[in-house]
Structure 1
Amino acid sequence: MAAGHAALSHQHPVAVHESTPNTTLRASRTTVQHVLKIQEYSWMSKSFDTGKGLCSKSFYVGGTTGWHIAFYPNGNRVETDDSVSVFAVLDDAAAGRAVEAEIGFDVLDPTTGEPMPRYRRPGGGVIRRFACIGAFCGYENFIRLEELEEFLLKDDCFWVRCNITVVEFLRDTAPPPWPVVAIPPPDWPQHFGDLLRSKQGADVMLDVGGETFAAHRCVLAARSPVFKAELYGALKERNTYIRIDDMRAEVFRNLLHFAYTDELPPETIEDGAAMARDLLKAADRYNMERLKLVCEDRLWSHIDASTAATTLLLAEQHGCHRLREACFEFLLRSSTTLNAVMATDGFGHLCKSNPGLLKDILSKLATHRDRRRRIRQWEEDDNHELVLRTTEGDKLPEPTHHMHLGCSRSIETHTSSSKTHDRRTPIHPDLTRDIATFISWSSKN
């Protein structure tokens, strides 16, 4: 069982021998993420009245506390019959022992499987005390039915993830720490880089842009399936000299450096988006996926009005789906941004070389405008209030069915603090004029 430990050492007020153990207070955290897939939602919403729900199978956190998820397709009471209700319910624990836990819920994107920011209900770091079996914590108005049916269903299914962190407060003594041997990071990139620079043992020559590079067949084959086929294929004995066309020597030098060291030279950062674009093409040509991702990340950080159209076209040509979506999101930031991009030569080239992308941009402009309008309307009256019963007293309506809803899985994880970087950008609230301008512009060019 993986658990995180936050330690507070209590120093004795009088002098003690340095070998005397200290008292340590520890908060041991164990987190489980239980994913619930609700299938045939339309049938459930019609078949279950308000106050009638279903139960997931039981799952355990750290092997000591049992839980299940209670789900009510039409709310758990009349006052919330316009929403689905969801709760985490304690159903097993050591006799006479209260459970301290943090409860949170997410709705997962049906396409990516990632939490959707708008529908996140995090625990907020608040530890709840569950004093008895049947104690529960959750949301009566988790998602409005209209919004769920409009935006969140895929093939009549949607996914809810319950995040439960059980906290145990422990006190123990620890012996004096043993000396720790510091282990340095792997140094193979340095050694392989030295091998590339020294050319010792090189057995293949590559002619690129009038410049010759010495390399090692086995290294190139290990890093690129394309080089492997070329160097160890049927004509392997003849392939001691390779000529590479349609690539600048500087680009190949950086690709070769990455093949040997798994990183790009520092000077490529100064070269900015231009070198990243050329390297991405080379990485795709030689099927070097990690280098391709590194280039995608650099291009992502260089997206602006002058590069957005060129980067979008490049992402489309080389199958960089996340970079493609990042460019779309940049275009949708505001009418000012869109007009600035449309004024670039790169945008004109995009329209002429790939009209399908122009249609995609138009479609996304119209879709996001309509979606934003509906979401704003719901945000005006949404009220997601946490419902908590952690002692004897009020109880949930008894679920009418105890069944495995579609499928679910539990993942026990080590709790750690981390920041999620969301690159999504706000959508401009009214893009009608932009669409009209866009259509007019494209018809004249």
Structure 2
Amino acid sequence: MPTSSPSPVGNNDGPSLTASAIIAPAVSGSHVLKIDGYSRTKGLGNGKRINSDTFTIGGHRWCVQYYPDGVASNDTDRISVFLFSDRSDDTEVKAKFKISLLGQDRQPVPQYSFSSLIHTFSTKEAAWGFAQFIKKYDLEESLHLKDDVFSIRCDVTVLKEIFTEPIRPPVVVPVPPSDMHQHFGQLLLAGEAADVNFEVGAETFAAHRCILAARSSVFKAELLGTMKEKTATHIRIDDMEPKVFKALLHFIYTDSLPVMDEGDGAATAQHLLVAADRYSMERLKLICEGKLCDHICKSTAATTLALAEQHGRVALKEACFKFLTSPGNLKAVMASDGYDHLRSSCPGVMDELVAMLAP
């Protein structure tokens, strides 16, 4: 009975991804041929040409062939223009080109701009172009011929040999997430190099005035501006609870909120929203607003709505209104301790609420 051979130790049969690219390089360039004395070139004879100076594009020599009386016997009333590959060997050249009559602004005239397909220039076919480029009468009656002078531009794109090359995967250097907030948080906890102290209630908090100023325009004005606190090393804050100021400092240094007790989270977010508004910290205000939107209940709806109105938090106000549209919720809120405060501090909000609930 045939048996299968075991896989070699360490063999990795997992998926792999390789990549390659097909490169079709090209080199482009342009040459302008000025015909000064057009009337004196006419009559040269059908099939007779005048060559431009030789120019180099893509490592190959070229010239523009100008036939003032046409290249073929049936084109005597037209000007013919060709691109000629001036080669000294038998190599073939693949190229495409565009021949344009230039206006007085030196820009191609769309009506007389002709693009070719990709042609192979060889010893047998050394020139390609446009036999019926423009009628002589049309040129002579146009504004493009001025003082017996007009110009032609030839744009050439030489196609190089197509090749394939592997695409090497980028080198990935693993970079850990930023831990700057941890370093600043440790600086706050250690109080190293602190140059200002805040007395809040019975607690004192050491901080760094430059960090506070960088995070809050209000702190910047107080600590680095012309206010008296600029030179003070001890600042008293009487209208804020210590735990709220501590949370404010934590956010200033780490851009995040500290861990809050589940039962105390909504109340702390309310007080922190007031502090954020006081110190003009918009991101903190939005974070607190979002937390309060998620913690609206019958016992907090009235105070939260008053807070939203007083501090211009539109989303929080709408969330409170949505909660109060339920008759059961509204009745419970009207019986809460915060309802009288809402009526006295924000009478306009009550008018909005009554109008919204009116049938």
Q: For the superposition of Structure 1 and Structure 2, which TM-score range results when normalised by the shorter chain?
A: 0.5 to 0.7
> Cα 1:274–1:176, aligned 2, differ >3 Å: closer, same or farther?
same
1:315 counterpart = 2:308: yes
Counterpart residue identity of residue 246, structure 1: D
> Cα 1:239–1:16, aligned 2, differ >3 Å: closer, same or farther?
closer
Q: What is the CA-CA distance between 1:244 and the residue it aligns to? A: 0.8
8 Å Cα contact 1:208-1:247 kept in structure 2: yes
8 Å Cα contact 1:208-1:249 kept in structure 2: yes
Aligned to 2:290: 297
Match of 1:249 among 242, 248, 267: 242
Aligned to 2:219: 227
Q: What is the CA-CA distance between 1:17 and the residue it aligns to? A: 11
Larger radius of gyration between Structure 1 and Structure 2: 2
SS of the residue corresponding to residue 231 of structure 1 reads: helix
SS of the residue corresponding to residue 257 of structure 2 reads: coil
Q: What is the CA-CA distance between 1:200 and the residue it aligns to? A: 1.1
Aligned to 1:202: 194
> Cα 1:363–1:192, aligned 2, differ >3 Å: closer, same or farther?
same
Aligned to 1:353: 345
> Cα 1:362–1:177, aligned 2, differ >3 Å: closer, same or farther?
same
Counterpart residue identity of residue 354, structure 1: C
- Provide TM-score, normalisation by structure 2: 0.52
Q: What is the CA-CA distance between 1:22 and the residue it aligns to? A: 7.7
Measure the CA separation in 1 of the matches of 2:256 and 2:14: 49
- Provide TM-score, normalisation by structure 1: 0.42
What is the total number of aligned residue pairs between the two structures?
203
SS of the residue corresponding to residue 242 of structure 1 reads: strand
Measure the CA separation in 1 of the matches of 2:310 and 2:269: 15
Match of 1:213 among 197, 205, 210: 205
8 Å Cα contact 2:309-2:346 kept in structure 1: no
Q: What is the CA-CA distance between 1:174 and the residue it aligns to? A: 8.9
SS of the residue corresponding to residue 266 of structure 1 reads: coil
Match of 1:21 among 18, 28, 53: 18
8 Å Cα contact 1:199-1:215 kept in structure 2: yes
Measure the CA separation in 2 of the matches of 1:311 and 1:212: 29
> Cα 1:20–1:316, aligned 2, differ >3 Å: closer, same or farther?
closer
Measure the CA separation in 1 of the matches of 2:233 and 2:14: 70
Q: What is the CA-CA distance between 1:213 and the residue it aligns to? A: 0.8
> Cα 1:180–1:346, aligned 2, differ >3 Å: closer, same or farther?
same
Counterpart residue identity of residue 194, structure 2: A
Measure the CA separation in 2 of the matches of 1:300 and 1:259: 22
Measure the CA separation in 2 of the matches of 1:246 and 1:221: 21
8 Å Cα contact 1:221-1:227 kept in structure 2: yes
> Cα 1:306–1:174, aligned 2, differ >3 Å: closer, same or farther?
farther
Q: What is the CA-CA distance between 1:175 and the residue it aligns to? A: 5.6
The 5 Å alignment of 1:19-98 reads 21=18
Measure the CA separation in 2 of the matches of 1:238 and 1:358: 46
Counterpart residue identity of residue 357, structure 1: V
Q: What is the CA-CA distance between 1:196 and the residue it aligns to? A: 0.7
Match of 2:331 among 336, 339, 347: 339
SS of the residue corresponding to residue 340 of structure 1 reads: helix
Higher relative contact order (CA 8 A, sep 6+): 1
> Cα 1:360–1:280, aligned 2, differ >3 Å: closer, same or farther?
same
Percent of pairs with identical residues: 56
Counterpart residue identity of residue 256, structure 1: L
> Cα 1:22–1:247, aligned 2, differ >3 Å: closer, same or farther?
same
8 Å Cα contact 2:229-2:235 kept in structure 1: no
Aligned to 2:268: 275
Counterpart residue identity of residue 216, structure 1: H
SS of the residue corresponding to residue 192 of structure 2 reads: coil
1:180 counterpart = 2:177: no
SS of the residue corresponding to residue 205 of structure 1 reads: strand
